[in-house]
Copies of this chain bind each other. A is one copy, B any other.
């Protein structure tokens, strides 16, 4: 929104105002944007260091017109072999995948790659904290579901069962993350109560 002084001169929003406007004005942010912003908050406040991993690409051809500006001319997206987010909180390894669905009643398991599910299994075997953050975009509800439950639902599918996790199953086995202002998705607070014994 453009704001003008009474004399017609354009008023430039300050950084803080822009940020506030973003928070209140833009409810259309993706789960990824909300999580990146929450991670920025954790980082700035020395709470946790959690980053989204870069998208894996297979680089085929690169032009070097000058040393400082190599241009990738041909590359392909690779299937990720791990989850998207990982980092450290209170010394512990944190690892998660974020999934958003427009489906109001269930999360289709086709949202996950087999590699990612195997990665979650491996992380749990090595004592890491692993989970999925799920947003039902229609209602903006966000849940945290521990990796062990994802593995159970994945195995149910492999045995011929349903190819999705129902929203009710996510409610029953997961934890609602209330939406806040800063951070928007305060998943660390849920982790704090959920993995209390491991974290102390």
A interface vs B, CB < 8 Å? Answer: 43, 46-49, 51, 53-57, 59, 69-78, 81-82, 86-95, 119, 122-123, 125-129, 198
Contact = CB atoms under 8 A, between A and B. Distances in A.
A61 to B, nearest CB: 10
Contacts of A87: 86, 93
Given A88-B95, A92-B91, A128-B88, A70 B77 contact: yes
Contacts of A128: 49, 88, 91
A74 B71 contact: yes
Given A46-B122, A49-B123, A53-B53, A75 B75 contact: yes
Contact of A122 (B43, B70, B92, B126): B43
A73 B70 contact: no
B81 A71 contact: no
A49 B90 contact: no
Contacts of A89: 126
Contact of A82 (B51, B57, B82): B51
A123 B8 CA distance: 49
Contacts of A76: 69-72
Given A57-B57, A91-B128, 14 more contacts: A46-B122, A49-B122, A49-B128, A51-B82, A54-B55, A55-B57, A70-B76, A72-B74, A72-B76, A72-B77, A88-B127, A90-B127, A91-B92, A93-B93
